[in-house]
Amino acid sequence: MRTRVLWLAALLAAGPAAALEPDVLFAKVSGSVWAIRTFDAQSRPLSAGSAVVIAPGRLVTNCHVLAKASSFVVRQENVAYGATLEYPDPQRDLCQVKVANFTAPPVALAPAGSARVGQRVYAIGNPRGLENTLSDGILSGLRGEEGERLLQTTAAIAPGSSGGGLFDSEGRLLGITTFAARDGGSLNFAVPVEWLAELPARAKTALEARAGGADGNGNGRGAPAAGRPGAPRLGEVFEYALIDGLTGVRTPVRYRVDRIEGENVYYNQGGRVEKADGQLVSATSPAGGLFDAAAPPGGWTRPAMTPGMRWRSEYTSASSGETVRYALDAAVIGTSRLTVDGEALSVQQIAYDGWMFALVGTGPAQALPFKATVSYAPDLGRVVRFEAEYRRVFLGMTRETLELVRVWR
C-alpha cells in the first residue's frame, strides 16, 4: 500500500509533460506533414493542400482538397509518392489516403477530449504552396454541439493549409486544419482528432449511400444539394472581391460551405444560409457589403426567372448596423456571358431601381435613390457579380461591386 501511495505521489509531482520549444516541436513533427498536389484526367494541376501521416502508409487530409481530382501525389521538397483514396467522409470533410512504400513516421495523437480553450497550439501545413510553414496561436474556441465541435484557433492558415496539422505544445495532433472563416484575421478552424477513429465506419456508410444513389451528404448522387450538378458541395469556398467604386480598393470575401442540411447550405459557420439554388435564407454576418446588407428577403434573385419578369420588393434591413427601409422594382433584363475563374458562364441579369430610406444624422429618414445590377449564373446557382450605388445627402455617392473570382474545391 505504501509503495502504491509513493508511486501516485511521484506521478502527481511529475505533472504534465513539458511543453516543447517551437523549433523542437517543428523538428519533431514536420517530417510527417506533407503537401498534396491533385491533377485532372489530362494530368493538369488542379489544387494543392496538406496531409498528415497518422499511421504507417496512411495520411489524412480534407476531402475538398481532393475534389474533382483524377490523381494526386503527396510530396515533400523533391520527393513525391502517388497516393490513392482509402476512406472518404465528405460530410466531415475528412479523407484518408494510402501510399505504398512510404516510411514517414506517424504523428502522436492527442488524447480524446484534451483540447481546451486557451492552450498554445501550432499549425503546420503548406499555405499557398509554401511547404512546411509553422504558425502558432491559441485554441480560441470549441464551436458546435458535443461530438460535432470544431476547433477554433488564432494560428494562421491560408489556402493550401487545408489538411494540415494543428498540434498541442507537446507535438501531439489535436486536429486537421480546414478553413478560415471569411477573411477574418484570426478565425481559423480545424476538425478534431477524435473524428479520425470514426473515419473507416463513416466512409463505409458514405460509400454505401453513394452506391445507393446518394452522395454521402444525404443528397442524390451528382446532385449535391438539390438535384443540380453545380450545387455547392461541402468544403467549397467561393472567393469574391469586394471593390470600392470610388477608391478601387479590393477586399477579398470568402463564403465557405460548412454544412448541408436538406435544402439549406450553411456558409461561414452559419453566418450565411442559402438554398441550393442561391436563394437567401439568412445573413447574420454580412461580409459582402451591400450584397449582404441590402439583400431583400430571399436574396436578389427569384426561382425560374425569365427575360422580362418583374417584381417589387419592399422590406426593412438592419444588417448594416442601421435600420434601412427599401422600396425597389426589379426586372430581368436579359442574359449575357461572364468569365469566372477561366470558365465562361451564362448569366441572367436583373436590374433593381428604387429608393432606400435611411436616417441621416439625427433628422428624419430621407429617400435616397438606389440602383443595383445583379448577374446570376444558373449553372453555379450563385450571383457572380453584383453592382450597387446610392447617394447620401451631403456624403456623396457610394458604389460597390462584388464579383466572384475563384471557386476553391
Which helix H or strand E contains 29, and what residues bound it? helix 22-29
Find, among 195, 163, 198, the residue nearest to 177 by Cα.
163
Catalytic, out of 50, 135, 161, 162: 162
Q: What are phi and psi of 85, to 5 degrees?
A: -75, 135
Catalytic (active site) residue 64:
yes
Catalytic residue selected from 89, 93, 258, 292:
93
Q: Is there a catalytic annotation at residue 70? A: no
CA–CA gap between residue 147 and residue 150 (Å, rounded) = 9
Cα dist from 61 to 54, 66, 160, 162, 193, whole Å: 10, 8, 11, 7, 12
Q: Which residues pair with 256 in a beta bridge?
A: 237
The DSSP H or E segment spanning 14 is helix 2-14
Helix (H) or strand (E) holding 5: helix 2-14
Strands 45-55 and 33-39: antiparallel
Count of residues in the chain: 409
Among candidate residues 189, 171, 169, the one with its CA nearest the CA of residue 181: 189
The phi-psi region of residue 71 (left if phi > 0; otherwise alpha if psi is between -120 and 50; otherwise beta) is: beta
- The radius of gyration of the chain from alpha carbons, rounded to an integer in Å, stands at 24
Number of other CB atoms surrounding residue 335 within 10 Å: 14
d(CA 85, CA 95): 7
Q: Which of these is catalytic: 64, 258, 277, 375? A: 64
User: Which amino acid, 213?
Assistant: G
93 classed as catalytic: yes
**Catalytic amino acids?**
64, 93, 162
